[in-house]
Structure 1
Amino acid sequence: MSRPHDAQRPFFPFGNPFRMISPKGSQLSSKLLVILNNFEETLAEKFRKLDPKETGDVLSLSWMEKAMKSLCETHSDVKNLITALELPVCDWDDKWIDVYLDISVKLLDICNAFSSEISRLNQGRLMLQCVLHNLESSSPEQFIRASSSLDRWRQHISSRNPRFANCGSILESLRETLDLPKVKNSAKGKVLMQAMYGVKVQTLFVCSIFVAAFSGPAKKPLELSVSGTHLWSLSFTNLLMNVNSNIRNRPSSGSVAIFKELEAVEANVKKLSPLIRSGEGTVEEESVRSSVSSLRGSVDRLSQELDLLEKEVDGFFQIVLTGRDALLCNLRANGPASAQMQKNIVER
């Protein structure tokens, strides 16, 4: 199987696969322009809806859920675009397929890291629910147990997930290969390349925000610059500018959390802890009840948002996975893959 020899391998390298689809020098027809413009206008609207000027604080689980849902929709949109373009897999060469499988594995790895962090946060949520259960009693012994559980929760939530150790390097490697590959002899290939460029930009943007939010306050999102020739370029540039401003101007609270739902829980834990430590909660019973109520409300909000976000992350994982499966099924339908490709698929 052939492999590219350049130092950088394109993110979705469609260069050669379409050389047999249309004659040399082909131009975009009105039908192809409509397909491309519809895709880019839809993407521009997605970027506008994610702008923090419209949605509020960008570093929140609710915003992250909207961003992941939007990303899932875009990946579905590009699958529909491929169908509309009628680009048969049998016209793609082995090296494109090999690189696509490699990139999709990286996206699945990133999704697994996100799911792992959501599970870790859910473990912390269960710890807090045990605390709230203990505080239903006013006995000093239960207060002491609850205080100890809050200490364990703080240690748990301040630890870092090792699954994120490689996410930054994965995103950086994808960012470095963001430039469009050249398609000289295929009008359909040019349409697909422009659409894929938008998909790549949104994927890198959303995933980089997730990595930053899940990795702690010290982590910053990737810097991205895009070509201004696309219908969505202005809306994305405005989104990026407002997101960066939102993150940069975020007040420092000393919290280990970077998104607001967890910050609210942490603030309530900090308020409740001294009231129940060593059984002192029996002295200020009204303050304890108020603090417990506030903590329960913030934990419920965190639980709700984590559940919604988990659903969208799982959905993105399934979209990437089913895309791989569909590609492999098409390869089998159009003939056996090369021995080397089969070996690569098994290894992955």
Structure 2
Amino acid sequence: MSRPHDAQRPFFPFGNPFRMISPKGSHLSSKLIAVLNNFEETLADRFRKLDPKETGDVLSLTWMEKAMKSLCETHGDIKNLISTLELPVCDWDDKWIDVYLDISVKLLDLCNAFSSEISRLNQGRLMLQCVLHNLESSCPEQFIRASSSLDRWRHHISSRNPRFENCGSILDGLKESLDLPKVKNSAKGKVLMRAMYGVKVQTLFVCSVFVAAFSGSAKKLLELSVSDTHLWGLSFTNLLTSVNSSIRNRPSSGSVAIFKEQEAVEANVKKLAPLIRSGEGTVEEESVRSSVSSLRGNVDHLSQGLDLLEKEVDGFFQVVLTGRDALLCNLRANGPASTQMQKNIVER
């Protein structure tokens, strides 16, 4: 996204911001076609790289990290495309400003929900580390503490994050924004609108998968038909089909989260918990050691994945936020004529 000093357009333009450009005709030159094709071919390659190689490998934290990183790269590409097209800053009407701000707020809200869930999972990870610390001793009292900590962890991890209550409606609103605005008499505008469609599709797809992974519900997975006139259309359709079917057809394990690192930890806890209840029989030490070792390895794997994913989610948050900053900077650059518009934004 554009930073405030870049003087470039933010994402998700609506209405017709190109009414001042190329008033006669909108024929795409070979140069513009090459620019657009390069963008779409790069996007197609990104979709192919995200397509899982085998069923069950979709929803891992590693895959989610790659998906968010890929999304940030696409947003960077659209910024470069805007620069290549050399689109001048022109006046935007209030309606377009309202729509852009609404969509960027939705994306920021989703990022906040994702970050909130990552923090909640990290809290659970700390609880498990306390369990592992207690189990380093063979003292019966430590086993009692560990058992109590596991109970608290199960209660914590099975609770629902209230941040996700509105995510479904947010995704619905973003899907409504996929319709392309009509851009007349602007070849550059049409190139940008077509490229923007690809950005919006990838953004909605990645966000819908994240909501499914963190909420444990596949209800809001994206369903979308994309025309094969887009160079990335087929690779996206293959990716969408593969990811959605893998999520919906996954064996039910009773896990709250869908991604496999969390499921592995929950399976370890389910096996370990009855072994360390000291009041219910003799502790099988070898079984305990084996289960503790497995849990420690899976907790470390979960911890690493959450840390890397948190970094990528924060990066996307900054991408969206700097786009809003760019919009405000462009409005200020327009001078006194935009004073009322800036006032309206501040009030909102």
Q: Provide TM-score, normalisation by structure 1.
A: 0.92
- For the 8 Å contact 2:218–2:248, the answer to whether it is kept is no
**Secondary structure of residue in 2 paired with 1:180:** coil
1:174 positional shift: 1.5
| Number of the residue aligned with 1:42 | 42
1:281 positional shift: 8.2
**Aligned equivalents of 2:231 and 2:243: distance in 1?**
20
- For the 8 Å contact 1:143–1:279, the answer to whether it is kept is no
Please give the per-residue CA displacement for 1:272-320, whole angstroms capped at 9, x wherever unaligned.
0000013568631111111000000000000000000000000000011
**Secondary structure of residue in 2 paired with 1:89:** coil
**Secondary structure of residue in 2 paired with 1:304:** helix
Q: What is the CA RMSD across the aligned residues, in angstroms?
A: 1.8
Please give the per-residue CA displacement for 1:19-66, whole angstroms capped at 9, x wherever unaligned.
111023221111111111111000000000000126961111111110
**Aligned equivalents of 2:55 and 2:309: distance in 1?**
16
| Number of the residue aligned with 1:69 | 69
- Higher mean alpha-carbon deviation, 316-325 vs 278-287, is at 278-287
1:177 positional shift: 2.8
| Number of the residue aligned with 1:185 | 185
- For the 8 Å contact 2:64–2:210, the answer to whether it is kept is yes
- For the 8 Å contact 1:89–1:327, the answer to whether it is kept is no
Residue type matched to 2:270 in 1? K
- Higher mean alpha-carbon deviation, 81-90 vs 183-192, is at 81-90
Structure 1 residues 143-182: aligned runs within 5 Å: 143-182=143-182
**Aligned equivalents of 1:273 and 1:72: distance in 2?**
41
Paired positions, count: 338
| Number of the residue aligned with 1:31 | 31
In the alignment, structure 1 residue 327 sits paired with structure 2 residue 327: yes
Unaligned runs of 5+ in 2: 1-10
**Aligned equivalents of 2:84 and 2:299: distance in 1?**
46
Residue type matched to 1:322 in 2? T
Change in 2 beyond 3 A, CA 1:117/1:268: same
Residue type matched to 2:88 in 1? P
Percent identity for Structure 1 against Structure 2 = 90
1:332 positional shift: 1.3
**Secondary structure of residue in 1 paired with 2:136:** coil
Structure 1 residues 263-342: aligned runs within 5 Å: 263-278=263-278, 283-336=283-336, 338-342=338-342
Please give the per-residue CA displacement for 1:164-197, whole angstroms capped at 9, x wherever unaligned.
1111101101112312111111111100100000
Please give the per-residue CA displacement for 1:134-171, whole angstroms capped at 9, x wherever unaligned.
11111111101100110110111111110111111011
**Secondary structure of residue in 1 paired with 2:277:** helix
Residue type matched to 1:270 in 2? K
| Number of the residue aligned with 1:22 | 22
1:335 positional shift: 1.4
In the alignment, structure 1 residue 256 sits paired with structure 2 residue 261: no
**Aligned equivalents of 1:22 and 1:91: distance in 2?**
15
In the alignment, structure 1 residue 212 sits paired with structure 2 residue 215: no
- For the 8 Å contact 1:113–1:164, the answer to whether it is kept is yes
